[in-house]
Structures are given as structure tokens and as C-alpha cells.
Structure 1
């Protein structure tokens, strides 16, 4: 688990690495139409019927990790080339409640290619990292009403000025968050790639053992050897 921290905000990231053991792609066709049916434009001219076709690719594949478990992955609207036997790594962000997993990068180590699925801006929106703040709006309203008893125009200017100031601060804070997210993703992506290409530690070798001489087998006893021995002893 990799942790991104920005101020009081924390987002967890996971890396799933393994071998592709299956890949399937299915397409959805969405057809929409505009115009026709007697519709006219601002000049009173009839609008011709236009048919728009959108093809959406649903990609499903399986990653088998080192522990032998196969993980089912779904990608919608992305057509990433994958085939069985390739080694890949999938980087994903996890919501605080653990119910939402958003994929950010897919590294195909076999083909030496990296595909970006989401960037910092997309993560900020989908994870709602910069939600709308109601407090500045309420304070601006209180200022407007409070000062409005003395001067309606002054109350409006003070309230509006405060709210605009808070919106500018919020916009800067959001940009800094997205920049920090993009930087973190780039570093994490590089770290995962470096770990894959890092040299594997050499296997430990047993120390050299002294050579053991095989025991000498006694010569085979034959009748000739017996006669020679008896002749020497006679």
C-alpha cells in the first residue's frame, strides 16, 4: 500500500502485479439522433435528421499474482492491447471507505509500455477530494444580511467580496492538490517500473566441499591370483 498525503488529506494507492492469463473485449453500441421530426432552427429552416453512433469497449482481463490468485479486472472505454503471458502492473487509488477502486496506470513490462488511465484531475473529481464548501457561502450571506441593516449596498459588496476571495483560495488549493497528485503518480509509476527491472539477488551457493575420493575396491579374487599368492608363500 502506498500513501499520498497532502495537508490533512490522505489517499491510498495499491499496485497489482502479475501475469495476464486471459483477456476479453466486448463492444457496446450507443445510437442517438438529433433533428428531424419537423424541427426547425432559428432561421425557420428544417433541421435534417442526424444519427450518431458511439462505440464503447469493455475490456475484461485476469491477472495472476505470485501467490497463484487470479484477479478479475474491468476497464470501460479503454482499448489497451494485452495478451496472455505478459507481465503487467496495475496502479489504483482506493477511496477512504474502500468501496471505490480507480485505476490510474497500467504498465506492460513485457512490451515496455505504460498507459495512463486517470490523472490527478480525474482522481480529484471522482474521489471528491475538493468538495463544494458551504461554510464560505453561509458566512458571506451572514455578512450581507448583517451589514445590510446599515447599508444594503455595503452588505452586498462585503458578502460578495468575501465569497469571491474564498473561491479564489479554493481554486488555488485545488490546483495545488492536482499538481501534487500528478507528481505522486509519476513517482509511483517510476518506482514500480524500477522495481520490476531491478536485478534479482543471486541465489546463495553452498561453500566448496572437499572432493571425496571413492573408496578403493579390492581386486577381484580369481584362481590365477590364488596360485600366484601360494607360489610366493611356498
Structure 2
């Protein structure tokens, strides 16, 4: 479905078990993200922002409602099918950097490109690391990099396949103010350059204000 939006959630509910009984995390969310649109998700802790990302990316199945990626209903796909649909088209950046500790910066960026069967993975990885200001850190391991540098490697890894949709869950949350501004600038600049749609979870109102649109969540609902 070439004209379908990258992401659409219709009446999405998510209820998870707990020791005290079922907990309603999402309560009837309706969200659509169009091609090239950058949508910020803001709200207090526990409002369902990260859960929305997990459901929207097909990492968690909703209890009720439907989630469509690029016009495909995720409920009709098994885990492998969802992974194939995401491959090369959906990327994620988290507050925790999730770099592979036994791989260099270059290898961390090149690995998903190689898995996707893309040619010139190493050259592409070097190019993207240069674009995030890390051309001098190609062969450094994560423990040899600062937090800001690790998040820039994670950003290069996410954008190197030129995804159509980027999920960014508090990407500046673990960074000091200077690095947070730098990473925020890079995310907005590079997603605009690649044309990727983005769903951005953030507590930073200034960063949210730079998105195309803001969705405010409270108690699992869009406020």
C-alpha cells in the first residue's frame, strides 16, 4: 500500500498483568504518523509513552485495537513477519545506547547494514559516523566513548539504512545539557535530510516544540 501512512494506531489498548492485578497502560489511543512527519510524544512518567513505542514498533502486541505499519496490519503477522517488515524501514534509538560492547563504532553501525544485505556496509558506516562527527572514533569500542559519543553512534546506526520511520525513546535522557542539544540537533537535521518520519518520546518541551506535531499522553490516553 504505497499511499498508506508509515504508522497508524486505531483504538489501541494495552493491559499488562501485575502482582496487584491487570494494569491498563494504553486506553484507546488513536495516532497517525504521515510520511516525513515528526511527532513528539510528551507526558508524565507512567503515561504510556514508551509502551506506545513498543506497540507501534510491533515489539508488544496490543490487547485491543489495531496497529498498521506501512499499511500492514501487525496482528496478521507473526514475529518473523514483523521483523521482516521492519528491516531496513524502521529504526529505533533508545535512552540506553544498546551498542554491542565487543564491536567498534564502525562495526556497530555496519552490522545491521550487513544483516540487511546492503552493499558497501563498511563504507556507509564510515560515512554516517563522519556525519555525526565521529570519523576519529571508528575503531573505538563503546567503553572508550563518552555517553554523547555512544548516542551518536546509535543514531548513525539507526539512520544508516535510511529508514522510512524512526522511533526515538528519550534519546537525550542520559546526556548532559551540551550533548543533549547536540544529539537533538543531529536527530532533527538527519531525519529531515533522509525524509524519515519520526516518533519522538521526550520530556524536553523545547525539543518537542521542534517537532511537526505534539501528542500529549496522560494515563494512557491522548490528552
**TM-score greater than 0.5 by the shorter chain:** no
Greater relative contact order (Cα < 8 A, sep 6+): 2
TM-score, normalization by structure 2: 0.24
The structure with more radius of gyration: 1
Higher fraction of strand? 1
TM-score, normalization by structure 1: 0.23
